[in-house]
Amino acid sequence: MWTTLLFASLPQAAQPLFVDDGQALGDVRTTCGTRAKDYILEVNGGGLALCDFDRDGDLDLLVVDGSTLERVKAEELGLPTRLFLNDGAGRFTPAPESWAMTPGRWGMGCAVGDVDGDGWLDVYVTHWGTDKLYLNRNGAGFLDASARWSLSGQRWGTSAAFLDYDRDGRLDLYIANYLAFDPATISPPGGGCAWKGFPVMCGPEGLTPLHDQLLANVGIASETQPGFRDVTVGAKVRPEEAGFALGVTTLDYDLDGDVDLYVANDSTPNFLWENQGDGTFKEVGLARGVAYDMNGKEQAGMGVAVGDVNGDGRDDLFVTNFSGENNTLYLSKGERGFVERSGPTGLAGPSIVKLGWGTALEDFDLDGDLDTFVLNGHVYPQADNAGTDTSYAQEAQFYRNDGAGRFRVEPLLADGRLVLRASSVGDIDGDGDVDIVAIELDGRVRVLRNTLARDGERKLNWLAVRLTAPDGNRFALGGRVVVEWEGGSRAREIRTSGGYQAAIEPLAHFGLGAATRARRVRASWPSGETLEVLDVPANQTLVLERPKAK
């Protein structure tokens, strides 16, 4: 009974923390097939990245667009990925023509990293079709380097993540692949596939999952140098059975100094690829407790977020799932793996009738602990029929961490129900709190502005930390930052993988609550160097350069 009383006694927030700022981007839309959603290819939506591509100090917005089967049948390319530059106040305008990106067949998601080590962030775009690599030409625009970097093959890539798995200073790439989709052979609408008694599009069950790929960066591509080499088999990142991969993230779950990978698979067990430190990986999802839910059931994983939810210094995992399944929080127990705590933390119950996609673990209310949100929306328009216990358009949810291990669910927006997909996060308007950008399926790209900093009554502080290096892995992906302040401490890892078809900026953001200074900031680079800074004033982005090796 005490739990009932506890939940009942929680106050409701007067207004959602986020507002849909329709002016920030304008009417920018993406396309993913038709609204009827007759084929599984049409339901995942596009991708997003929030990164500073022109290095002017603010976050630019990259939007990956899709296509339609009519275009495919007409042998037309898909719609191009677009870049929107930030004016510094959180308003985006289309980037000049020099940033134009040649389209592929059907864009899905993206990864961001400095693949050629020149200090500028490059972009990898996954496709149903051949993926694309766009090199950043020193802030002057993008160059399609797909052919030179030896990208080939026709797969269905969803999410991707840059990482330096072999710690050679060059960024390698993990590509999450979904399934083999051939419009010529897949069952047409009404072809016998049903959900809750209603005819629906077919898949993923019954279709063939594709193996993911690990591409090693073997150096800057040239006439004689391939750039990427597929090392999936050699690095042992090839399980006996492939999964329907949708989300991916990097993390050092066992804190052994090398980067591991977590893959959210749809309807198949999730993967935890433990880096063995010798250029190979071992799949340990089942043994470490993150492959299934606590009932031993594989879930339909979509989005994934990483962060230290309970402040024990270890990264936890949060996975969004299908309707009828709860979203899953796996709390780290260190090398022993993880234990699911979705129910007691309040993250399970409110998620069961929803179908979750984009998510992140950030301190959105700057009170010193990590909150999360989930973008929801069903894959079947038929979800609006009677008796499904769910709906097609759904309310997006914000889960506020109460600091004691429980999350309280609130509406993310006042706008009601939407069909949302991928998200990216970052401080787009430079006001110190973390904002969200969301893909609405068959709709507008929505800029969801965090209103916290505009509330003058609250004096909440923050600190962002960026790690740099003069060469190699210049954005320090895989680096780690620990911030201690009066009343708390938190560890965060530097990554650009944004979970579901998305990328985020390589930066660690911390809410400090009422503390105006951080007592200590400790940083470690993937190459092993460390740095400690004491008594750091809050409300700034601290840039730490890699010290010279001793």
Partner 1 sequence: MLNFAVSHHSRCALAALLTGAALVVNSAASNSAASNSAASRSTAAAQAPTPAPAAPTSSAPQAPRGAAELTAAQREAALRFDPRQLPRGESGAWVQWGPSVPPPEAVRAAFALGARSYQEGDYGACLALMQDVLRRAPDQPGALYQAATAYFRLRRYGDCAVLAERFVEVAPKEVGATQVLGHAHYTLGDYPRALEHYQRVVAAAPQSVEAWRGLGLARLKLGDTSGALAALDRALALRPEHADALVWRAQALVELERPSEALESALRGRDLAPFEPRTWFLLGSIFAALGREADADAARARFVELNRIDQQVRAQEALLLTDPRAVEPRVRLVRLHVAAGDRESVSENLARLQRLLPDNLDVGALALEAHSALGDHSAAEAVIAELEKRFADNELTWVSIESYWRARGDDDRARRAADRRKVLRSGQR
Is residue 220 a contact residue for partner 1 (CB under 8 A)? no
| CB of 319 vs partner 1, minimal distance in Å | 16
Which of 343, 416, 528, 537 binds partner 1 (CB under 8 A)? It is 343
One-letter identity of residue 313: G
Q: What tokens appear for 480 in the block?
A: 């780690």
Beta bridge partners of 426: 435
Is residue 384 a contact residue for partner 1 (CB under 8 A)? no
The CA angle 370-330-250, to the nearest 5 degrees, is: 75
Candidate ranges 32-40, 79-87, 386-394, 432-440; the one touching partner 1 (CB under 8 A): 386-394
Is residue 350 a contact residue for partner 1 (CB under 8 A)? yes
Checking DSSP bridges between strand 502-503 and strand 47-51, what pairing results, if any? parallel
Nearer to partner 1, 81 or 328 (CB): 328
Which of 143, 286, 514, 531 binds partner 1 (CB under 8 A)? It is 286
Query: Which residue's structure tokens are 């495919």?
Result: 72
Would you call 109 helix, strand, or coil by DSSP? strand
Residues 406-445 that bind partner 1 (CB under 8 A): 406
One-letter identity of residue 355: L
Would you call 24 helix, strand, or coil by DSSP? helix
Is residue 385 a contact residue for partner 1 (CB under 8 A)? yes
| CB of 396 vs partner 1, minimal distance in Å | 17
Nearer to partner 1, 11 or 387 (CB): 387
Any alpha helices (H) in 35-127, and if so which ranges?
Answer: 69-73
Would you call 487 helix, strand, or coil by DSSP? coil
Is residue 28 a contact residue for partner 1 (CB under 8 A)? no
Is residue 7 a contact residue for partner 1 (CB under 8 A)? yes
Q: What tokens appear for 544 in the block?
A: 């730490």
| CB of 352 vs partner 1, minimal distance in Å | 3
- The CA distance from 397 to 103, in Å, is 33
Which of 12, 224, 278, 297 binds partner 1 (CB under 8 A)? It is 297
Nearer to partner 1, 322 or 357 (CB): 322
Which of 35, 73, 282, 336 binds partner 1 (CB under 8 A)? It is 336
Beta bridge partners of 272: 262
Is residue 470 a contact residue for partner 1 (CB under 8 A)? no
Is residue 23 a contact residue for partner 1 (CB under 8 A)? no
Which of 55, 148, 196, 211 binds partner 1 (CB under 8 A)? It is 196
Is residue 292 a contact residue for partner 1 (CB under 8 A)? yes
Is residue 404 a contact residue for partner 1 (CB under 8 A)? no
Contact criterion met (CB below 8 Å) for 318 and 499: no
Helix or strand (DSSP H, E) at 533: strand 530-537
Which of 108, 145, 214, 348 binds partner 1 (CB under 8 A)? It is 348
Nearer to partner 1, 385 or 451 (CB): 385
Nearer to partner 1, 336 or 454 (CB): 336
Q: How many CB atoms lie within 10 A of CB 134?
A: 25
Residue 193 CA to its chain's centroid (Å): 30
Contact criterion met (CB below 8 Å) for 271 and 285: yes
Residues 91-120 that bind partner 1 (CB under 8 A): none
Which of 36, 89, 233, 287 binds partner 1 (CB under 8 A)? It is 287
Is residue 397 a contact residue for partner 1 (CB under 8 A)? no
Candidate ranges 85-93, 98-106, 141-149, 385-393; the one touching partner 1 (CB under 8 A): 385-393
Contact criterion met (CB below 8 Å) for 376 and 354: yes
CA atoms within 13 A of residue 436's CA, in its CB half-sphere: 33
Q: Which of 359, 295, 350, 349 is nearest to 499 (CA)?
A: 359
Is residue 389 a contact residue for partner 1 (CB under 8 A)? yes
Is residue 197 a contact residue for partner 1 (CB under 8 A)? yes
CB proximity list for 3: less than 8 A, separation 6 or greater: none
For every residue of 38-73, DSSP letters joined together read -SGGGSS--EEEEE-SS-SSS-EEEEE----HHHHH
Is residue 2 a contact residue for partner 1 (CB under 8 A)? yes
> Which positions lie near partner 1, rule CB under 8 A?
1-4, 7-8, 194, 196-197, 205, 286-287, 289, 292, 294-298, 324, 326, 336, 343-345, 348-353, 385-389, 406
